[in-house]
Structures are given as C-alpha cells and as structure tokens.
Amino acid sequence: MTQHPILEIKGLHKRFADHHVLRGIDFSVAPGERVAIIGGSGSGKSTFLRCMNFMETPSEGEVWLDGTRIGTERNGRVTYPEKQLCSVRERLGMVFQQFNLFPHMTVIQNVMEGLVTVKGMPKAEARRIAEAELAKVGLSEKHDAWPGRLSGGQQQRVAIARALSMQPEVLLFDEPTSSLDPELVGEVLRVINTLAGEGRTMLLVTHELGFAYHFATKVIFLADGVFHEVGTPDEVLKNPQKPRTQDFLRRFGEFAF
C-alpha cells in the first residue's frame, strides 16, 4: 500500500508587495525522505521553508500535513487560526541559520523551554528529555553552560537538540552551517547525518553540495521561485539536465581541487 505524503504543497505562491518570491510550487515529501534544497541567493529557499511551518503565510496555495489541510476556508478565503499554527510548528521543527538561543538561559533551560511553556510538561520530565537530546548531539557536559560561552557549532547543536526535544514529525534546516566558521561546519553536519541514519523526515537548505549528495534521497534546485530541477542526488548534482542547473553547479565547482 502506498504511503500518503507527510507533507504536501499545492500551488504555493509567496509575494512580498510586488516581489513574487515563490511562483506556484507543487511538491510532496514522503515519511523518511531527506530533501536537500539548493539554489542561488535570493532564489526563495528560506522563504519556502518558512512557508512550511507558517513563519511566513503563503499568498496562495495549500499546505497539507499528514493528510490534513492547514487553515480554514470560509467564503473563499483561507484563515490560519493561531492554535492550529502552534500545533503545526510543534510538528515541523525548524533549525535556523542563526541559533536564536535565549542568552539568559543555560543550555538545558533553552532545550527545556518549549516543553514546559508550549507543551505544559512538568520540569522533571522536560529535563529528562532535554538531557537525552543534548546527549544525542554530543553536549552532555554543557548542560549548565551559558550560550555565550559556547562555540558557534556548539550553539547550533543546542538549537538542534531544542528542535528534537519537541519530537517533530519533520525537521526543517535553513542553512544551518552558513553562520559557522569552516572548522565548525563538520560537527553540525555529523549530527544531521546521524539524524538521517535514524530515518527522520528532513528538508535541508544548504550550500554544502558534497554533504547534500550523501545526505539526500531527493535534491531540488530552486531558481526564480520555481523548482527548476528535481531528482536523485546523482540526477541533479552529477548529471543535471537543465542548463540553469548546470551553470549553477559549474560555478560551485570552478575552483575545485
């Protein structure tokens, strides 16, 4: 029996005033699928992810999560009740370019915060979950550290632990290594690779094309607000068919050694 998509996008558009960022995207993600999204700066990659968990409201189109359409249609107009969106954001965990940790909270308090304030979980149970997720990202010894005393790679791993603690069905990564010094990129990618090995459903916006090749089950090249080319890592990254994709990848490989 064919599994229905965990996440489905139909006719997605996003406009900011006169700027038409996303131009009618149709896409679906199966449970356990790992999708790498590549493209140039300003192509709409981050906006696409932010429309998934409604940090940006789509201008047109539908987002379906596990067979249920997000939003309520009435008199031809779709509204998005905040209670429903809070549930969506719990189920679609987001890891940002910037770490967005609370500087006045310790590492473990940062990871516990959503469990206590959003899910209403007792602090003892929240702490147990937070400890387990920090162990998963290799930061068991940093429970009581302040974010400002951590490296960028450690802060991003705390942010990943925070997202994992909410037990999301899908993880969204928005260029999670773009703010890191080169020597710190590997530690974050190793954590993401471990999560991939667990069979998690993930969407990753990245410029790390080598990692994308090994990480993804599907690669999307996004250009001018549309999915310009979609396929397996071999199809898109090694044997792209579209001239626009070929040109993009050629520029990335121009100084390879």
DSSP readout, the chain?
A: -PPPPSEEEEEEEEEETTEEEEEEEEEEE-TT-EEEEE--TTSSHHHHHHHHTTSS--SEEEEEETTEESSEEETTEEE--HHHHHHHHHHEEEE-SS----TTS-HHHHHHHHHHHTS---HHHHHHHHHHHHHHTT-GGGTT--GGGS-HHHHHHHHHHHHHHT--SEEEEESTTTTS-HHHHHHHHHHHHHHHHTT-EEEEE-S-HHHHHHH-SEEEEEETTEEEEEE-HIIIIIS--SHHHHHHHHHHTTT--
Per-residue pLDDT, 57: 93
Question: What average pLDDT does the segment 157-168 reach?
Answer: 96
Question: What average pLDDT does the segment 173-195 reach?
Answer: 93
Distances (CA, A) of 237 to 48, 53, 137, 205, 212: 20, 27, 29, 15, 9
Per-residue pLDDT, 72: 87
Per-residue pLDDT, 4: 85
pLDDT higher than threshold 50 for residue 1: no
What is the pLDDT confidence band of residue 214, given thresholds at 50, 70 and 90? Answer: very high
- Half-sphere exposure at residue 151, Cβ-oriented, CA atoms within 13 angstroms: 13
| pTM recorded for the entire structure | 0.93
- Residue 120: CB atoms within 10 Å: 8
Task: Give CA–CA dist 123/4, Å, rounded.
Answer: 36
Domains of the chain, first to last? 7-252 (3.40.50.300)
pLDDT higher than threshold 70 for residue 257: no
Question: What average pLDDT does the segment 116-123 reach?
Answer: 94
Per-residue pLDDT, 76: 75
What is the pLDDT confidence band of residue 95, given thresholds at 50, 70 and 90? Answer: very high
Tell me what the pLDDT averaged over the chain comes to.
93
Distances (CA, A) of 163 to 120, 192, 198: 16, 12, 15
